[in-house]
Amino acid sequence: FRRVLFRSGRFEARIKLPAGQGMWPAFWMLGDDVEKADWPACGEIDIMENIGKEPSIVHGSIHGPGFTGSDGIEASYTLPAARRFANDFHVFAVEWEPSVIRFYVDDDLYVTRSRSDLRPGWKWVFDHPFFLLLNVAVGGDWPGNPDAATVFPQTMLVDYVRVYQRSSE
């Protein structure tokens, strides 16, 4: 197993999410220096996170030294008309450049993050190689535990993952 590393580009995946209380699917990126710098100094870009108790909402965020947990820099996207992310495939994406990160759902730009979003003393840690992760966690402080209505097994269906990088000009 070898990590594929990136410094910028467009990262997208077409995913149908699992559903139910306690489910926590995610499509995210972590700084490659995690073993040396530790988290959160390595940086984290959450392209998409969903918690089962919010079936129509996904969250996109960035984390680094000083901005984690309740101090994280996060935004959410809500599907219109009470649609649920578990009912259909959706495209989740970020466009990452050295000083800006843009978050998308189904080609709708819903938030842009940049160095100007950081408070004094916080460090922009999105200028070195990162690698991609996709996972489904169960339970935890944020999503809570599964309940009697949560159905198992669960599946996060991934149609594709694509990475685009600018060509040299």
Question: Parallel, antiparallel, or unpaired for β 90-97 and 73-78?
Answer: unpaired
Q: What size, in residues, is the chain? A: 169
In the set 44, 54, 95, 169, the catalytic residue is 44
Beta strands in the chain (DSSP E): 9-16, 23-31, 44-49, 57-63, 73-78, 90-97, 100-105, 108-114, 130-138, 157-164
The reply to whether 12 belongs to the active site is no
In the set 35, 49, 74, 97, the catalytic residue is 49
Instruction: Specify whether the CB–CB gap between 24 and 50 falls below 8 A.
Output: yes
Task: Write phi, then psi, for 80 (nearest 5 degrees).
Answer: -70, 160
The reply to whether 95 belongs to the active site is no
What positions carry a catalytic annotation?
44, 49
